Structure formats: structure tokens, C-alpha cells
Amino acid sequence: MNIKDEKVSIGAGTLLAPVPAVMVSCGDAPENYNIITIAWTGIINSEPPITYISVRKSRHSHALITKAGGFVINSTTKPLTSVTDYCGVKTGAKENKFETAKLTPIPAEHVKAPLIKESPVNIECKVLEVKEFTTHDMFIAEIVDVHVDKSMMDLKGKLMLDQAGLVAYIHGHYFEVKREAIGRFGFSVMKAKTKKRISREKNIKKMRKK
């Protein structure tokens, strides 16, 4: 099979998709709290959990994160998309984005940067290393704690992240993720018996909701 018959080359580019669209909060005191929107982020290591964000040197948040040695990754939802975009376009050098975007800072537990109250998931990160690349610097950081909004937990204390309507970034656009999962990890090889049990549990849950 020949590549030219099936595919079109569009050249080298950052077309990995979908990637997260998150708001990263930073600063070390209320007067310099800032928010930068980031799509260049991901998980690097599972145990301990290690993540990264890539930030241009020219960005106002670059110096804030370098100085404080920590930041918070705040996930985004459809109602937050407009302020997410706003925080990616505007610079914190000229305005306090918590004020202009009407977002609420909450002091974190382990880092100096604040959490964003309106976000369903807040990930506290401590910088381990800064790795320089040409356009971006990569802040490699350990995840030291994760907070979720109380509305994200069901009555049994189980996380309902599927109900958050999280937002992804694809090729310059923001998209909401559907709320119905296609399947869980391992579903393709799951035994019929296990599938039945899970489906039964789901139905019980649905009935309880009614």
C-alpha cells in the first residue's frame, strides 16, 4: 500500500489532537496572581505523578512560575471556554486576569499559586526542572495534590469527571468532550460476565438518581 494513494502530507506541525485546554494559575501573592491558558501539557510519569507545561519565555507567567517554583493546572468546561480563551490572548502584565475574567482565586495547600474556584479539577504542581527548547520552555513538575469541586463527587464519594463536560483543543479550536464514555480501559477484552456486572451497577445508579 502506497502512502500517496491514501494520505496527504501537510508537513511538520503540532497536530497532535485532542490536547487539553487548561488554565494554569501562577504567582506567589494575591497582587501578582495570574492565569495563562495552556494546551502544551501532558502526563510524563505515573508514580510519582509528573506533568509539564510548555510556556514561551516571553510570557508574563514564565517569570512568575520560575520565581515561585510552582503552579496549578485548572481544567476547563464549556461555560469556562470564553474566559479560557481570554486568558490565553491577554497578558497579565497589563491586567489582573482574575478580576477581568471574573474568576475566583482560592489559596492552594502546597504551592503559592492559587486554585481557580470555577474549575472542576485543580492540580497543584511543584517544578522539578526547566528544560529549554527553541520557542518554549518546558516546566517539568510533580503533581503534589489534586482537588476537585464538591459538585463533581457523587453521594458515595465517587468522582464523576465524565459529567464535567471538559474542553479539548484541536487545531486552533475549542471542543467539548461528550459526556457518555465509549468504554473504560480494557473494555475490548472484558469478559461478558464483567460487562454484565458493570451494566447492572450503572442501571442501579440511574434508578437511584430518579
**206: Cβ contacts below 8 Å, ≥ 6 apart:** none
Backbone torsion region of residue 11, taken as left when φ is above 0, otherwise alpha when ψ lies between -120 and 50, otherwise beta: left
32's grid cell: 501578582
Q: Is 161 helix (H, G, I), strand (E, B) or coil?
A: helix
Measured from the CB atom, is 172 or 210 closer to its own copies?
Answer: 172
Q: Using CB under 8 A, which of 28, 32, 91, 177 touches its own copies? A: 177
Question: CB of residue 188 vs its own copies: minimum separation in angstroms?
Answer: 4
Measured from the CB atom, is 68 or 103 closer to its own copies?
Answer: 103
Provide the Cα torsion 56, 103, 142, 45; round to 10°: -80
Amino acid (1-letter code) at residue 102? K
Per CB under 8 A, 139 contacts its own copies: no
Measured from the CB atom, is 19 or 63 closer to its own copies?
Answer: 19
Measured from the CB atom, is 42 or 210 closer to its own copies?
Answer: 42
> By CB under 8 A, what part of segment 61-80 binds its own copies?
73, 75, 78
Torsion angles phi and psi, residue 161, rounded to 5: -70, -25
For the window 10-29, what string marks contact with its own copies as x by the rule CB under 8 A?
xxxxxxxxxxx-x-------
Per CB under 8 A, 198 contacts its own copies: no
Q: Using CB under 8 A, which of 66, 69, 88, 130 touches its own copies? A: 88
Distance CA 22, CA 119 (A): 9
> By CB under 8 A, what part of segment 143-162 binds its own copies?
143-150, 152-153, 159, 161-162
Per CB under 8 A, 170 contacts its own copies: yes
Best CA proximity match to 21, nearest among 100, 72, 74:
74
Alpha carbon separation from 171 to 20, 131, 182, 201 (Å, rounded): 12, 25, 23, 38
Per CB under 8 A, 81 contacts its own copies: yes
Question: CB of residue 164 vs its own copies: minimum separation in angstroms?
Answer: 8
Q: Using CB under 8 A, which of 32, 50, 69, 130 touches its own copies? A: 50
The sign of the CA dihedral 204, 207, 208, 209 is positive
Per CB under 8 A, 192 contacts its own copies: no
